Amino acid sequence: MNLTCDSKDLDDYLCELAEVDYSNPIIRAKSNLLAALLRSQGIPTGFCYQRLMLFDTPDKGYCIHVLNAIFFHSLNKWIRLDSRGNKTGIDVQFSLEHESLAFPIQQEFDEVESTIPCDICKTTS
């Protein structure tokens, strides 16, 4: 399921963050820093979220992974990117044509994502 601004599921999903493990705040810090740097240069930037399994089965819990989204006026669209950095087994590269994220969504395990920036749609709706 992809979440959109007008989706009731998005509000439900974001309001249930109390159930989420926040033990790794470094990802949020990187996303916030990247957004601040881009916004300081006048580049429209927002945040998108993924609800991912912590381990290999849903009963072990979920976490929130934060992505950035940048609006490209020349393309008239938002492009999501992952500021988390690469490591063995994860090689994300920025591309205008092909999205490259560290964690693909597994819908069969109730993982979900927002495909447009949640903070942007909240302030304009």
Calpha distance 72→115 (Å, rounded): 15
Question: What mean pLDDT comes out for the span 21-38?
Answer: 74
Question: What mean pLDDT comes out for the span 11-40?
Answer: 64
- 3-class secondary-structure state, position 120: helix
- Taking 70 as the threshold, does the pLDDT of residue 27 lie above it? no
pLDDT digits (tens, 9 = 90+) for 66-101: 899 999 999 999 999 888 778 888 888 888 898 888
pTM above 0.85, yes or no: no
What's the confidence (pLDDT) of residue 24?
56
- Taking 50 as the threshold, does the pLDDT of residue 39 lie above it? yes
- Taking 80 as the threshold, does the pLDDT of residue 23 lie above it? no
What's the confidence (pLDDT) of residue 122?
40
Structure tokens that stand for 102 in this block: 């560290």
Higher-confidence position of 67 and 16 = 67
Higher-confidence position of 10 and 74 = 74
Domain positions in the chain are 2-124
Calpha distance 14→122 (Å, rounded): 11
